[in-house]
Structure 1
Amino acid sequence: MKTDEASPGQPAHEVPRSTLRAADLLPTGSLGLRSRKVRAVLSGLGIAIGIASIVSVLGVTSSSQSALLDQIDQLGTNLLTVANGNSNGAEQILPTTATPMVRQLPHVLSVAPTAKLPGVNVYRNDHVAAGRTGGRSVRAADATLLTTLDGALLAGRFINDDDVPVTVLGYSAASTLGITDVSGNDRVWVGGHWYNVVGILKPFVLAPEIDQAAIVSFDSAAHLLGYNGHPSRIYVRAQTEYTADVARVLAGAANPEDPSRTSVSRPSDALTAQLKVKQSGAGLILGLGAIALLVGAIGIANVMVIAVLERRTEIGLRRALGASRGHVAAQFLTESLILATLGGIAGIVIGIGVTVGMAMSRGWATLIPPEALYGGILVSVAAGAIAGLYPAVRAAHLPPTDALRTA
């Protein structure tokens, strides 16, 4: 701050007004923060928490959504399933003509019929009590299953049409049965018969029922397990641009006599629904972050009001030495802005750390929207300006004589 004295002979009313250089504004405005460090840290913590919540939510949500979209792109949105619509939670049979009729539809790339065998279970050995299935099932299929679902083997090979009696285990079924490889000629007890395990499948995100199943060939199911030739679930891979068109005619093709009893679904819709859930959940947490930010701004305003009361003598002395109201207001407003900005920067660092840690633990690519970074700074600065406005105006209008009288 600089005050110019009147030169000899110069009228008092022409004395230049005091000035506050921009270079002096930062050290002057940070004086209160440097002298009360603990209070400054605690008051800026609310801003930091609010900004950290916003940045981490946007970062984690963007990273998880990106990973989910990549997964959808890899798995494809052109897989359809056909099942009996009156299943009541259990798979019921479809007509024996369903598979050949579906294969004749235009824009269908591949079709994989499967049949869940009712009353047939898979056990680790023949000493396990009946009924202790662990959620596992036995399903008949052929070689088209792997290509239609775009699946892969974790170990071994897939079944052939004439394989009797061998089985390929879904990922979850193999885990619960305690089978991790197929090099030791492991066997399982299927429907009262010993089956050699020749392969283990990798997880099927779009067909979790396969993960819980022991897969056998149709010939094996017919000769040993009582299979009657009716499929219970058919997987259909269509040309991507015609997926909706194929879905509309699948029910009629699978069951021409009663299409209403046939349900058609797109498994990738479940992943798309997860995106919407993540977006709605992110909106809720962003709201909570905004509340934390508001609480932080109120905390800064409270601290600044207290600072004005505690520094009445300083304010009065500066006014008596020629500081204008604008200079005093600028000092306290700068202090509030510095406090909020430092809290915002700390919040951004914390939010980035949370996002990186979460992404690394889940195997996601870290993705933080740029608007979360510069938006966090802008929001924190705006919060500091609003929080410091009233204390700054109050300090500026404090009469210097009253302030000095309280010293």
Structure 2
Amino acid sequence: MSPVDLLGLGLLGVRTRPGRAALSGLGIAIGIATMIVVTGLPASGQAALVERLSALGTNTLQATAQPDVQPPAPLPESAVEMVRRIGPVTGASAVANTHAAVRRNERTASSGLTALAARLDLPATIQARIRSGAWLTAATERFPAVVLGSVAAARLGVTDLPRGAAPQVVIGDRRFTVVGILGPTPLTPDIDRSVLVGWPAAKSELGFDGHPTVLYVRGEEAQLEAVRDVLAETISPERPGAVTVTRPSDALAAKRATESSFSVLFLALAGVALVIGGLGVANTMVVSVLERRSEIGLRRALGATRGQIRGQFLTESVILAGAGGVAGAGLGLAATVGYAAWQNWPLVIPAGPAGLGAAGAVVIGVLAGVYPCVRAARLTPRAAIS
């Protein structure tokens, strides 16, 4: 018997009892849909969370000089260049406290803000955005120009940069023109409360000695702990104990561990649903054998072999399970796509669980049909017709 004939025989029972076939495949469909949903939604949510946290700078480390070390050991001027040689490091920048007072004008008292010398690559390293104006350039970093942090701008009363005459602030005894205002940087609050001067201008106008105060290091997230382990030795090989390095974000690691645990739990529940669906298919096939005894007997009397009878009922079982698997995959994908779009999450469908679910449906169909097809094949023509 050709595969086409075998497929036609397998579809015979499905076509003649569509309601029962639909209910039998429902369990498989629920199991497959559950497996896709409970892996796709956490994966999409995790991807959205990682994007948001990465935009804030969770893969950023900070290195500072120990304040209580004697004798004092400032960070070397070449610290940024040395850190960039670390393989997993994708960006590094620095700021330095100039210890100059910041005032709105010559007639006001000190604002309590910090005047920081900043490098041109600072916004890219800490993922800061410009709310108004522009960041320092290779030209403006050499002149008395300044960029305000979000809190500093509010405290100095410079909430926007109008066209025309730019506002000015006083740092030390020199006037600096405000060329930009940063948006909030939640993971680097010191930047929010600072006014940022170009590195060369800080040296020429404020007497800055060139030693950085804080290093910001961005690295590959998977290698962040390894970068932290060698960061102090790289910055100060002679006195690594004089360098303090912050720890990576514990919140991100805890979130991932929690989502992984829930994914395993839901996958187990989806597996239970698949098993229950398989039992439903097996029950349907057993009942189908009992109801179709006369058909089996007639086919045996006309010359059908036991192998052909086994093939017919096994094919029908696989069709039921396969149809349920396809319906479940479509339902699960639709639910995942819809929910991810509603939440504005990136769509992530893990290929492993989806492929495992499809293969599981076929395996369940085979297992569910083994006993019924063997029982049908054992019926003799006389016993089946009587």
* TM-score of the aligned structures, taking structure 2 as reference length: 0.61
1:388 and 2:369 aligned: yes
| CA distance in structure 2 between the aligned counterparts of 1:84 and 1:97, rounded to whole angstroms | 9
- Counterpart in 1 of 2:216? 236
3-state SS of the aligned residue for 1:265? coil
- Out of 82, 85, 92, the position equivalent to 1:107 is 82
Q: CA deviation at 1:302?
A: 1.2
1:249 and 2:227 aligned: no
| CA distance in structure 1 between the aligned counterparts of 2:131 and 2:35, rounded to whole angstroms | 40
Contact persistence 2:61–2:245 (CA under 8 A): no
Equivalent residues in 2 for 1:3-402 (5 A)? 20-57=1-38, 59-60=40-41, 79-82=60-63, 100=75, 104=79, 107-108=82-83, 112=94, 143=118, 146=123, 148-156=125-133, 168-169=149-150, 182=160, 199=181, 201=183, 204=185, 208-210=186-188, 214-217=192-195, 234-237=214-217, 243-244=227-228, 246-249=230-233, 262=244, 264-267=246-249, 271=252, 278-360=259-341, 361-364=343-346, 366=348, 369=351, 375-402=356-383
Contact persistence 1:301–1:388 (CA under 8 A): yes
| CA distance in structure 2 between the aligned counterparts of 1:282 and 1:75, rounded to whole angstroms | 26
Q: Which amino acid aligns with 1:364?
A: P
Percent of residue pairs bearing the same amino acid type: 36
User: Quick one: structure 1 residues 333 and 84, their matched pair in 2 at CA, closer, same or farther if it must change by over 3 Å?
Assistant: farther
Q: CA deviation at 1:386?
A: 0.6
Contact persistence 1:55–1:352 (CA under 8 A): yes
Q: CA deviation at 1:44?
A: 0.6
| CA distance in structure 2 between the aligned counterparts of 1:154 and 1:95, rounded to whole angstroms | 41
> What RMSD, in angstroms, separates the aligned Cα atoms of the two structures?
5.3
| CA distance in structure 2 between the aligned counterparts of 1:139 and 1:397, rounded to whole angstroms | 90
Contact persistence 1:112–1:236 (CA under 8 A): yes
Q: Which amino acid aligns with 1:151?
A: A
| CA distance in structure 2 between the aligned counterparts of 1:400 and 1:310, rounded to whole angstroms | 15
3-state SS of the aligned residue for 1:323? coil
| CA distance in structure 1 between the aligned counterparts of 2:245 and 2:195, rounded to whole angstroms | 25
Q: Which amino acid aligns with 1:318?
A: R
User: Quick one: structure 1 residues 402 and 98, their matched pair in 2 at CA, closer, same or farther if it must change by over 3 Å?
Assistant: farther
| CA distance in structure 2 between the aligned counterparts of 1:60 and 1:158, rounded to whole angstroms | 39
3-state SS of the aligned residue for 2:193? strand
| CA distance in structure 2 between the aligned counterparts of 1:301 and 1:336, rounded to whole angstroms | 8
Larger mean CA deviation between 75-84 and 383-392 belongs to: 75-84
| CA distance in structure 2 between the aligned counterparts of 1:142 and 1:95, rounded to whole angstroms | 25
User: Quick one: structure 1 residues 364 and 142, their matched pair in 2 at CA, closer, same or farther if it must change by over 3 Å?
Assistant: farther
* TM-score of the aligned structures, taking structure 1 as reference length: 0.59
| CA distance in structure 2 between the aligned counterparts of 1:70 and 1:382, rounded to whole angstroms | 38
Contact persistence 1:78–1:243 (CA under 8 A): no
| CA distance in structure 2 between the aligned counterparts of 1:95 and 1:43, rounded to whole angstroms | 78
Larger mean CA deviation between 37-46 and 315-324 belongs to: 315-324
Contact persistence 1:168–1:200 (CA under 8 A): yes
| CA distance in structure 2 between the aligned counterparts of 1:139 and 1:291, rounded to whole angstroms | 60
Q: CA deviation at 1:84?
A: 10
Contact persistence 2:306–2:377 (CA under 8 A): yes
Contact persistence 1:47–1:292 (CA under 8 A): yes
User: Quick one: structure 1 residues 257 and 274, their matched pair in 2 at CA, closer, same or farther if it must change by over 3 Å?
Assistant: closer
| CA distance in structure 2 between the aligned counterparts of 1:142 and 1:93, rounded to whole angstroms | 23
Q: CA deviation at 1:329?
A: 1.9
| CA distance in structure 2 between the aligned counterparts of 1:376 and 1:182, rounded to whole angstroms | 56
3-state SS of the aligned residue for 1:236? strand
Contact persistence 1:102–1:250 (CA under 8 A): no
Q: Which amino acid aligns with 1:237?
A: V
Q: CA deviation at 1:216?
A: 3.5
Q: CA deviation at 1:344?
A: 1.4
Gapped regions of structure 2 (runs ≥ 5) = 85-91, 98-112, 163-177, 198-212
3-state SS of the aligned residue for 2:346? coil
Q: CA deviation at 1:300?
A: 0.6
Tell me the matched-pair count: 324
- Counterpart in 2 of 1:7? none
Q: Which amino acid aligns with 1:377?
A: A
| CA distance in structure 2 between the aligned counterparts of 1:298 and 1:67, rounded to whole angstroms | 38
Q: CA deviation at 1:323?
A: 3.0
Query: What are the superposed Cα offsets for residues 5-53 of structure 1, whole Å, 9 maximum, x if unpaired?
Result: xxxxxxxxxxxxxxx4543322322222212212211211121222223
Q: CA deviation at 1:157?
A: 5.8
